[in-house]
Amino acid sequence: MSIFDTNKSYDFGDFLPNILKLGINPTQSQLNSIISFFELLVNENKSFNLTSIVEWEPFLLRHILDSACLNLVFSENDYKVNLLDIGSGAGIPGIPIKIFNPDFKVQMMDATKKKIGFIDKVISQLGLTDTYSHHGRAEELGHHSGFRGQFDYVTARAVAELPTLLELMLPFVKQGGYAVAMKGETVNQEIQKSTKALHELGGKIINIIDPSEFIQNYPGFLVVIEKISETPTRYPRRNGVPVKSPLI
Ligand code: SAH
């Protein structure tokens, strides 16, 4: 079950009832993948700082359950989904999305090469099929024909404030597809600042999901943005500009 320390047992505690409330009933093999992901992360973190979360319970709560909330957005009718996770870091939320939605094609992108190296290890150790990683910046890959306008869903957690994030995400989304931003307490302020970015980039907020309706005291929100028209080709602007001069 566990690849580094076969004697250690992992308690899933409240995680299982909570994840059931999200409509996910994980198999033993999916739970094993979560354990393997945790062990790879803890091991890699000894030589390269990937995350501040190295304890099992916080890992389940803040990395896995947080990512699983995205299943509140996905539809049962979703077919042949092509999903991109921008600024995945150690593979969050991309890796858990793939574990819980094995039929999705999941692609992860990050500007830091070492993080992509870690994601590649996870993909290979967990045997994840139809899962890919890309080293690069959203500002550049967003102009490549293999990426631009190609995705049904684009996700991001802890990458940038919403006006900036919209410029990084929406170019990748297909018309009629969705960008889903995982946000914390500042969600309302960020939305208020996003009117111009939404208008310029062809996005419309269609839902703000509060997972605490399902999971008590849940701290975050999911902002679901539909791409309702083409993003002008001048976006995203060059490296660093979306952060330095957001469309506000
Ligand atoms: N999503 C992960 C990591 C968040 S840290 C999590 O929630 O745990 C933010 C990550 O975004 C970093 O790994 C950083 O390298 C990446 N990043 C920031 N700006 C980016 C950009 N413009 N293009 C690609 N990756 C970016």
For helices 28-45 and 113-126, give the axis angle rounded to 10 degrees: 150
- What does pTM read for this prediction? 0.96
Q: 183 C-alpha to center of ligand 1: Å? A: 14
Mean pLDDT, the chain cut into blocks of 10 residues (248 residues total)? 60 95 96 98 93 93 96 90 98 98 98 98 98 98 98 98 98 98 97 98 98 91 98 98 98
The reply to whether ligand 1 has any atom less than 6 angstroms from the CB of 183 is no
Give the residue, out of 110, 140, 165, 241, with the most ligand 1 atoms within 8 A of its beta carbon, to mutate for a pocket test: 110
Q: Report pLDDT for 242.
A: 98
Q: Report pLDDT for 7.
A: 55
Q: Nearest residue CA, atom 8 of ligand 1?
A: 92
Atom of ligand 1 nearest to the CA of 87: 11
- Positive/negative CA dihedral, 187, 188, 189, 194: positive
Q: Report pLDDT for 6.
A: 52
DSSP annotation of 24:
-
Q: Nearest residue CA, atom 13 of ligand 1?
A: 89
Strand, helix or coil for residue 34: helix
The reply to whether ligand 1 has any atom less than 6 angstroms from the CB of 115 is yes
Q: 156 C-alpha to center of ligand 1: Å? A: 8
Q: In whole angstroms, what is the distance from residue 213 CA to residue 199 CA?
A: 30
Q: In whole angstroms, what is the distance from residue 74 CA to residue 104 CA?
A: 11
Q: Report pLDDT for 1.
A: 45
Q: Report pLDDT for 226.
A: 98
Burial state string for 99-128 with b = 16 or more CB within 10 A and e = fewer than 16? bbbeebbbbbbbbeeebbebbbebbeebeb
Q: Nearest residue CA, atom 23 of ligand 1?
A: 137
Atom of ligand 1 nearest to the CA of 112: 15
- The one-letter amino acid at 139: E
For residue 72, what are its two tokens? Answer: 């509140």
Q: Report pLDDT for 4.
A: 53
The reply to whether ligand 1 has any atom less than 6 angstroms from the CB of 119 is no
C-beta neighbour count of 3 within 10 angstroms: 13
Strand, helix or coil for residue 195: helix
